Amino acid sequence: IPFHIVEGAVADVRVPQNVTRSLLPFLQQANIPYTILISDLQQAIENQTAGRSHRSRRSLPGYNYEVYHSLEEIEDWMHYLNRTYSDLVQMFSVGKSYEGRPLYVLKIGKRSRPYKKAVWIDCGIHAREWIGPAFCQWFVKEALQTYQTDPDMKKMLTQLYFYIMPVFNVDGYHFSWTNDRFWRKTRSKNMRFHCHGVDANRNWKVKWCDEGASLHPCDDTYCGPFPESEPEVKAVAHFLRKHRKQIKAYLSFHAYAQMLLYPYSYKYATIPNFNCVESAAYNAVNALQSAYGVRYRYGPASSTLYVSSGSSMDWAYKNGIPYAFAFELRDTGHFGFLLPEMLIKPTCTETMLAVKNITLHLLKKCH
């Protein structure tokens, strides 16, 4: 059971089918209320991943943004955009993953002047949260398709650059497609414990390995042997440090909980520019709700979700990026990490409204 589950809290548990028959009478006798969310989890997983390698890949101009894509497909798509939209898109790598994969980022924006402020967006720090990379791709699609027709998008791409990293944890994401749909961490090896991976959102140099992180290499929230031990974290941290004067907002996309979080994660305390950040969050969740009526909770991560140390959002804020947010996208637990593909479009549509709102708020120079 995860460390942050306490008495009275709701916990999602995966139970082997052969155990279910004996577990349900026990829960009834103990008066523990339960709900069966997905009766056949294996089938639900297979529905998302089966046949993907055999599905006829549509040509890249007809790329389908309403299905989940493998790492190979996402990388092909990035290369295609880099070739096709050279006036607005520039693709580069910030480094290599533990298993040697390139860590690709798309820089999007009109090259209108040499120096422009920028917004960093990353998705897929946690491998199993597939809706994150789906949103990053959706954002790029919207930016490129509506740039000419939407005055807000034109303003955003003219006045700002967007650095977008569709898959932060490339090794883990690939592994979640090939081996374990619920894999969360990176894939670095720990020789002593024969466990793989570090939680890439507990590996940053900000109150590293304190509350809400684990020292045990086999745990899902393992903080790593030292801060920035993971090449993925080290590479992104290096890039953000190098561009910290330019980057004014850091947005990281996770799942699931339907929340918009801001610092701090590692302690209960109010950030110095609280009024600015709070009003940006309030307006963003209202904009999001206007699409389908979906309500997001918002607030400091520590009190709104739980205390966690070594997070990318806290690190970005501590390193001088004044607007740092983490989105926890749909849903609140029914499908959890297995959010069906039919919900990609509404989730991304509403999230897009929130991101545009935050970006335009940023341009109004609230300090």
Q: Is 189 helix (H, G, I), strand (E, B) or coil?
A: strand
Angle at 196 between CA 191 and CA 198, to 5 degrees: 110
The burial of 304, by beta-carbon neighbours within 10 Å (0-12 exposed, 13-18 middle, 19 or more buried), is given as middle
Q: How many CB atoms lie within 10 A of CB 4?
A: 14
- Could you confirm whether 66 is annotated as catalytic? no
How far the first Cα of the chain sits from its last, in Å, is 41
Residues 168 and 105 sit within 8 Å (Cβ to Cβ): no
User: Which of 75, 228, 328, 350 is labelled catalytic?
Assistant: 328
Rounded CA separation 273/331 (Å): 29
Rounded CA separation 67/63 (Å): 9
Rounded CA separation 77/328 (Å): 25
Q: Which two structure tokens, joined as six digits, stand for 116?
A: 């422009």
The single-letter DSSP state of residue 117 is E
Rounded CA separation 135/258 (Å): 14
Residues 254 and 339 sit within 8 Å (Cβ to Cβ): no
Rounded CA separation 49/29 (Å): 37
For the stretch 10-47, what's the b/e string if a residue is b when 16 or more beta carbons lie within 10 angstroms of its beta carbon? eeeeeeeeeeeeeeeeeeeeeeeeeeeeeeebeeebee
Residue 335, sorted as left (phi over 0), alpha (psi -120 to 50) or beta, turns out to be alpha
Structure-derived torsion over alpha carbons of residues 310, 175, 68, 259, reported in degrees to the nearest 10: -20
Return the active site residues: 328
